[in-house]
Amino acid sequence: GESFREVMRRIQTMLDIQEKEFEKFKFAIVMMGRHQYITEDEYEVNLKDFEPQPGNMSHPRPWLGLDHFNKAPKRGRYTYLEKAIKIHN
The Cα–Cα gap between 81 and 1 comes to: 53
The Cα–Cα gap between 31 and 64 comes to: 9
Task: Pick the closest to residue 11 from 62, 51, 45 (CA basis).
Answer: 45
What are the pLDDT digits (tens) for 3-50? 888 888 888 998 898 998 888 888 888 888 888 888 877 778 777 777
What are the pLDDT digits (tens) for 75-86? 666 666 677 677
Place 57 in a pLDDT band, splitting at 50, 70 and 90: low
Dihedral sign for Cα atoms in the order 72, 78, 82, 88: positive
What does the domain layout of the chain look like in residue ranges? Answer: 2-67
Name the pTM for this structure: 0.61
The Cα–Cα gap between 16 and 4 comes to: 18
- Close Cβ partners of 88 (under 8 Å, ≥ 6 residues apart): none
